[in-house]
Every structure is written in structure tokens, then in C-alpha cells.
């Protein structure tokens, strides 16, 4: 599910959401009002890349991640759009 996320979009953390590392448990998470989303390594890289300052377009983030992981852009794009759509639907990210 992509929730209509397009490569031209700029994605940011939703109001009240913070990216934090849980040092006790050793993982990264998105903390929102009364909710937590634990991030795996891939989701963490996606969030960091799309929310970097200045904010990159989703397409630019896809290109960066494809180069970083030396992976086909089409595969990275599908994964990134799915992850972002899910996080937007859950209210952790916004456009």
C-alpha cells in the first residue's frame, strides 16, 4: 500500500512524533502520542533519508538509498513507497 505517496512528495515526521533510540533495548523507534513504532534497519534508513534537512523529495531519497545499498532503483522505490505509505497511514509521517 503506498497511500498515494509520490516521488515528488516531501515527507516529514508528523506533529508530536520523534525519532529516538531506545538505548536499553538497543533499537530505534518513532514515538508519537500514545503510540510507538519500532524500526528495523531498513525502515530507520528510509526515515532518516526522507526526513533529512533540508527535506528531500521521496524520489531523491530513493536514489540515495539505491546508491547506498547498491540495489536496483525499482526495488528500492517499491520498498520505500510501501514503508512510507504504511507510516503515513499509521500517523507517524506526513506529507
What is the rounded distance in angstroms from the CA atom of residue 35 to the CA atom of residue 27? 16
- 80 vs 4, residue with greater confidence: 80
Q: Is the dihedral of CA 41, 38, 89, 15 positive or negative?
A: negative
pLDDT tens by residue, 79-92: 999 999 999 999 99
Give a yes or no: residue 77 inside a domain: yes
Number of structural domains the chain divides into:
1
Q: Is residue 6 a part of any domain in this protein?
A: no
User: Is 52 part of a structural domain of the chain?
Assistant: yes
Count of other CB atoms within 10 angstroms of residue 76? 21
Nearest CA to 12 out of 45, 44, 56, 78 is that of 56
Residue 53: predicted pLDDT: 82
CATH of the domain at 47: 1.10.10.1150
- Asked if residue 1 is part of any domain, the answer here is no
Residue 52 lies in domain: 14-90
In total, the chain counts a number of residues equal to: 95
pLDDT at position 1, please? 44
Is 31 within a domain? yes
Does 8 map to a domain? no
Q: Tens digits of per-residue pLDDT, 35-86? A: 999 999 999 999 999 998 877 899 999 999 999 999 999 999 999 999 999 9
pTM here is 0.89
Residue 54 lies in a domain: yes
Q: Is residue 62 part of a domain?
A: yes
Amino acid at each position: 500500500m503506498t497511500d498515494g505517496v509520490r516521488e515528488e512528495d516531501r515527507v516529514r515526521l508528523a506533529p508530536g512524533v520523534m525519532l529516538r533510540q531506545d538505548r536499553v533495548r538497543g533499537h530505534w523507534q518513532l514515538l508519537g502520542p500514545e503510540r510507538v513504532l519500532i524500526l528495523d534497519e531498513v525502515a530507520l534508513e528510509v526515515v532518516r533519508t526522507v526526513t533529512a534537512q533540508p527535506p528531500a523529495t521521496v524520489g531523491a531519497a530513493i536514489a540515495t538509498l539505491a546508491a547506498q545499498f547498491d540495489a536496483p532503483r525499482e526495488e528500492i522505490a517499491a520498498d520505500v513507497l510501501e514503508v512510507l505509505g504504511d507510516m503515513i497511514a499509521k500517523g507517524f509521517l506526513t506529507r
